[in-house]
Structure 1
Amino acid sequence: MPIMDHLEREPESPEDLEDDNGSDEDNFSTGKKKSALPLVHPECEKIPKEFGFHQSTRVCLQHVREALLHHRWQEAAEYMACYPQMLENTTNGTARWVKERLWRFSAEILHHHPNSKMEDYNNIYERLKHSGFRHYMMISLEHAFHILLHGDIKDAKHQLSAAESWRYGKESAAQYQKTKLVQAYRGLLDYIMWCDIKSTHTNFDDPDSTLSKNMHNSFRSASVSLQEILKTPGVWDTFILSYTEMLEFYGDHKEVLKILSDYAYDDTFPPNPNAHVYLYQYMKRQETPEKKLMKVLKHLHALVPSHELMLEYSALLLQSGEKSDIQKALAVVLEMLDFTCWRTNLDVWKRLRDIVKTIELSENWKDVVSEQMAVRKGWWPQLHFTSPHASRDCEENPELLELKSSLMVILCPGVNLRYSARQVNRTMET
């Protein structure tokens, strides 16, 4: 969440922030409803009978907020050095929500301050991790990310390993999910270490060599972690690709196919076009029969009809030679051209020309084209076949102008359109 959102957001109740054993259902059962009206920022609001300590910390927070808003990082750091005193204030549970604010503010300042050092990050993160329990996992994960920015993979892995084994009280569903997330990122670091060995060495013929053993140990450690995250429905593209790359390297193609198929077709996972792309790319590398490739692209088409792989899908449909597939290819390409991102793409228009030429060999080809264009006749001419389109295509891509002009008569018969090289010449003469 952006830092300004945290500045403007009303703090949660102390109970919500501190209790890691609660659940979302428990919060709903309390019957509490937050007002949708904008509220005065509570830390900055002057309260009656305010003691000197509270007044000084409120003013301090005002200065921190002002410095952050105007990117005065040095000034924000100086004021922030005083703000942790709020952790010592336990009245009304104040210190409980201060911990999250302190974490967010400190990370934002350190990230932007020109003189921040890794030692500063370590000091802040270690203090925050042990000042409370609710955010321990996420602070540890963020700490590992900052360490990675400095290229120390082993230290980052150590931080995640420590966080992964951390427990507090009765484990809640939220805490369990965070543990699995930390575990997955730790596995991702094992994958990176595996990649480092693979990229710097080429000879792995001897399985008993120290190099091969180290590489295989990284693979096994990564596999254990990445297998766990895939049991939880979600979008795990980076983790999926890392795991399947290692499996493919060791020749476990059956497992790769199972993982990618489950990721694409398991209904418990959210719809994810990338899942179908990964499955298609892998099957294509394995020289899978075209019928199976078309099945994968059919699912992708249902999710993203404008995807660039639809050009390959239409080619496979056209190559099959079956009448229904050729008609489907026509629909696929026309749907691509419904989107402005493909409007001037020469390859798509060439594919449309090839499909139309094939369809023209059948007796009822006009009916096939007319059926597809019936829902488009009210807006397609304005999208593709106007005088400004002709002028631009003539200037930028004359081949496209000629190609579209020949298809215009077939796609929009009987419609008087101002799209042709002749129309461009007339416009230039006038």
Structure 2
Amino acid sequence: MMDDTGRELRPLEDPEDDCYSSSSDDTSVKVGEKPKTPRVDAMCVETPRENGFHQSTRICLEYIREAMLHHRWQEAAEYMACYPQMLEDTSFGYTERCKELVWRLSTEILHHHPNSNMDDYNSIYERMKHSGFKHYLKISLEHSFHLLLHGHIVDAKRQLLTTASWRYGKEQAVQHQKAKLIHAYRSLLDYILWCDKKVSNSDPDYQESCDIQEKNNNFRQASVNLKEIVRNPGVWDPFILSYVEMLEFYKDHKEALSVLNDYAYDNNFPPNPNAHVYLYQYLKRHDAPEKKLLKVLKILHVSVPSHELMLEYSSLLLQSEKESDIQKAFRIIVEMLDFACWRSNLDVWNSLKAIIQKLKSQKDWRKVVHAEMAGRKDWWPVLHFTSFHASKDSDENPDLMEVKASLINVLCPDTKLKYGARGVNSGERT
């Protein structure tokens, strides 16, 4: 915001001729002479291409910026009441830049002003939307967000309905993308209205047929647009979740699963770990076979080995009787502990301990552990088993310290470590 204001504060120049070129006697730098530092008040000096009106509005903008920087919002609002006169000037091609500046400054001041109200916001948004077509869609979407933020959901939807039918000239690619976004958020508002009706209809003492019909209408309106939107490659997390929730409510599990599968596995969509999380959560809610759950978690593990669901992944593998699955569970938990965010998590260390206990039933279990820890021997002890960690774990989580200490000899058998707990030192009873 301040960067834009700073650009606007520069003196007006001729787009074709540089009035500050090196030909000027005052600004040219001679050989062997140090360049002069321009004075701060130079922005207020009238230039050859600037008349009194331009100078006044530019100085007014400087005062607005100064007031905003020092959080003097009433003063900024008073100056702002004068600055929009700049919109009436069409010289030099600065009108579009001024429009966006007035829009940004006005909403920022209203956002912080203690006496601003919804009518003030509506007035600014409506004026700026109709001051030109370039920012119409963007301003309309922001207006809807503001209405939604203040609980005016119906007004926000009405705003988007009007915006969705707006057209200007030949539709360009950028305009088309913004129009799709308008449709997407309009559907999201239909979903919110559907949620409100769903909550009210859940009360058996309050179930009127007109409300049920309205809820179903909201679902139809939202689902038609959401189904179309989520077909376009992109990251549509909140829209996907809304659509799937409605489909689940109406027990259309086939369509819900199809949407989630496309979102997770369609190569046209950008890589998105959340897509696999949503698919896993849906499958788990509907008691899908363990094989399907493992398939989804396997892909998630490749992209985000530190994800919290890796704890569930290792737990599912641990239930298997295959030696390879137990070894895989060991690798998954060790990889989780490669990340500092998990090093103080008791559940992860307990899971590692349980896996090692089951792993010991295999003849070559030491080779498995050694192969996994070989590349970590130089930095894993520093990450988990220093005297600092011992002191911290002893004070904050003694149970964690005891679990970790009992695993030292297995994980780092050839390393002397200063880590002990309650009579346990380097993995052995003292």
TM-score, structure 2 length as denominator? 0.87
Q: Which runs of 5+ in 2 are unaligned?
A: 10-39, 426-430
CA distance in structure 2 between the partners assigned to 1:173 and 1:341 by the alignment: 42
Tell me the residue number matched to 1:7. Answer: 5
In the TM superposition, residue 46 of structure 1 has moved relative to its aligned partner by 5.3
For the residues of structure 1 that align with 2:8 and 2:416, how far apart are their CA atoms?
Answer: 61
Answer yes or no: is 1:307 the counterpart of 2:307: yes
Q: Closer, same or farther in 2 for the Cα pair 1:348/1:332, shift >3 Å?
A: same
Distance 1:424 1:389, change over 3 A: farther
The correspondence of residues 38-53 of structure 1 with structure 2, limited to 5 A, is 47-53=47-53
Q: Are the structure 2 counterparts of residues 424 and 288 from structure 1 closer, same or farther at C-alpha, using a change threshold of 3 Å?
A: closer
Deviation at 1:8, TM superposition (A): 4.4
Q: Superposition pairs for residues 46-125 of structure 1, below 5 Å?
A: 47-125=47-125
Q: Which residue of 2 aligns with 1:352?
A: 352
For 2:3 and 2:309, how far apart are their aligned partners in 1?
Answer: 38
Question: Are 2:8 and 2:58, in contact at CA under 8 Å, matched by a contact in 1?
Answer: no
Give the distance between the partners of 1:110 and 1:165, measured in 2 at CA: 29
Cross-structure match for 1:318: 318
Match for residue 22 of structure 1? none
Change in 2 beyond 3 A, CA 1:57/1:10: closer
The secondary structure found in structure 2 opposite 1:138 is helix
Q: Name the amino acid aligned to 2:220.
A: R
Measure, in 1, the Cα distance between the counterparts of 2:161 and 2:49: 47
Equivalence for 2:328: 328
Q: Which residue of 2 aligns with 1:394?
A: 394
* Uncovered stretches (5+) of structure 1, i.e. residues with no partner: 12-39, 426-430
Does the 8 Å contact 2:125/2:139 carry over to 1? yes
AA at the equivalent of 2:2: M
Alignment partner, residue 416 of structure 2:
416
Higher mean C-alpha displacement, 257-266 vs 390-399 = 390-399
Cα separation, 2, equivalents of 1:101 and 1:185: 25
Partner of 2:244: 244
- Partner Cα separation in structure 1 for residue 271 and residue 369 of structure 2: 32
Take 2:297 and 2:2, find their aligned partners in 1: how far apart are those partners?
42
**DSSP 3-state at the match of 2:419:** coil
Distance in 2 (alpha carbons) for counterparts of 1:323 and 1:114: 66
- Conserved? CA contact 1:294–1:316, under 8 Å: yes
Q: Is the 8 A contact 2:402 2:421 kept in 1?
A: yes
Report whether the alignment pairs 1:196 with 2:181: no
1:142 aligned partner: 142
Q: CA 1:423–1:51 in structure 2 vs 1: closer, same or farther (change >3 Å)?
A: farther
Asked if structure 2 preserves the Cα contact closer than 8 Å seen for 1:44 and 1:61, the reply is no
Q: 1:374 is paired with a residue of what secondary structure? A: helix
Cα distance in 2 for partners of 1:395, 1:102 equals 56
In the other structure, the counterpart of 1:159 is 159
In structure 2, what is the equivalent of residue 286 of structure 1? 286
The one-letter code of the counterpart of 1:7 is T
- Code of the residue aligned with 1:349 in structure 2: it is W
CA contact 2:230–2:236 (8 Å) conserved in 1:
yes
How many angstroms apart in 1 are the aligned matches of 2:134 and 2:411?
A: 62
Q: CA distance change for structure 1 residues 55 and 208 in 2, over 3 Å: closer, same or farther?
A: closer
How far has the Cα of 1:129 moved from its partner? Answer: 0.4
Give 3-state SS (helix, strand or coil) of 1:320's partner: coil
Percent identical pairs in the alignment equals 64
Q: 2: distance between equivalents of 1:244 and 1:323?
A: 37
Which of the two has higher C-alpha Rg? 2
Tell me the CA shift for residue 204 of structure 1.
8.5
The aligned amino acid for 1:111 is H
Q: Answer yes or no: is 1:273 the counterpart of 2:269.
A: no
SS at match of 2:344: coil
Contact 1:315/1:329 (CA < 8 Å) preserved in 2?
Answer: yes
Deviations 1:67-87 (A, max 9, x none): 122221111111111111111
Contact 1:7 1:65 in 2 (8 A): yes
Q: CA deviation at 1:404?
A: 1.0
Tell me, yes or no, if the aligned pair for 1:387 and 1:424 is still in contact at 8 Å: no
Q: 1:424/1:102 Cα in 2 relative to 1: closer, same or farther (>3 Å)? A: farther
Q: Where does residue 404 of structure 2 map in the other structure?
A: 404
Q: Say yes or no: does 1:181 pair with 2:188.
A: no
* 1:24 corresponding residue in structure 2: none
Q: Aligned partners of 1:228, 1:71: CA distance in 2, in Å? A: 45
Structure 1 residue 9, shift from structure 2 partner: 5.7
The residue identity in structure 1 corresponding to 2:292 is K
Query: Partners in 1 of 2:377 and 2:223 — Cα distance?
Result: 54
Distance 2:338 2:390 in 1: 18
Contact in 1 for aligned 2:329/2:355 (Cα 8 Å): yes
Number of residue equivalences: 395
Distance 1:262 1:359, change over 3 A: same
Question: How far, CA to CA, are the matches of 1:4 and 1:66 in structure 2?
Answer: 10
User: TM-score with structure 1 length normalisation?
Assistant: 0.87
* CA shift in 2, pair 1:312/1:178, >3 Å: same
Higher RCO (CA 8 Å, separation ≥ 6 residues): 1
SS of equivalent to 2:167: coil
Q: How far apart are 1:150 and its partner, in Å? A: 2.5
1:173-196 Cα distance to aligned partner (Å, 9 max, x none): 110110110111111111111000
Contact residue 390 and residue 424 of structure 1 kept, 8 A = no
Cα–Cα, structure 1 residues 155 and 44, in superposed 2: closer, same or farther, change >3 Å? farther
Aligned AA for 1:155?
Answer: D
> In 2, are the aligned partners of 1:377 and 1:412 still within 8 Å (CA)?
yes
Measure the CA separation in 2 of the matches of 1:45 and 1:233. 52
- Give the C-alpha shift of residue 236 in structure 1: 1.1
One-letter code of the match for 1:298? K
Q: Partner residue of 1:36?
A: none
Shift of 1:48: 2.6
Q: Distance in 1 between matches of 2:5 and 2:159?
A: 28
Partners of 1:331 and 1:6 in 2: CA distance: 51
Change (3 A) 1:354 1:244: same
